[in-house]
Amino acid sequence: MPVRSEPQTQPVGPAWVIAWIHIVAPDYYTEQVSAHVWCTCGFERRARGRRSVLLVVQQHIAHRTQCPLRNAAEGRQAA
């Protein structure tokens, strides 16, 4: 049985998933790459092909700073 070097820790406080990204990258270069990104705020994108998938990944990263669920105005003012 392998020994873990770092202990498993549970998140402190309420935690939930807000956004997901699912990328399918087959082993063979000739097969199609695809991605699906969605967020609980309603943001959703799908892509097929390498260039389109890279664009969707960039949109997903940019959405993290713009999502109203992650960046509540009340929380910023209170801090």
In a domain, 66, yes or no: yes
- Note the pLDDT tens digit of each residue in 26-78: 888 888 999 999 998 999 999 999 999 999 999 999 998 888 887 766 544 55
Least Cα distance to 51 among 66, 32, 28, 78 occurs for: 32
- Rg, the chain, Cα only: 17
Expressed as residue numbers, the domain containing 64 is 19-73
Q: Is residue 3 part of a domain?
A: no
**How high is the pLDDT of residue 13?**
52
Residue 42 lies in a domain: yes
Domains identified in the chain, total number: 1
Is 1's pLDDT higher than 80?
no
Print the SS3 string covering the chain: CCCCCCCCCCCCCCCCCCEEEEEECCCCCCCCCEEEEEECCCCEEEEECHHHHHHHHHHHHHHHHHCCCCCCHHHHHHC
Within a domain: 24: yes
pTM beyond cutoff 0.75: no
Q: Is residue 51 part of a domain?
A: yes
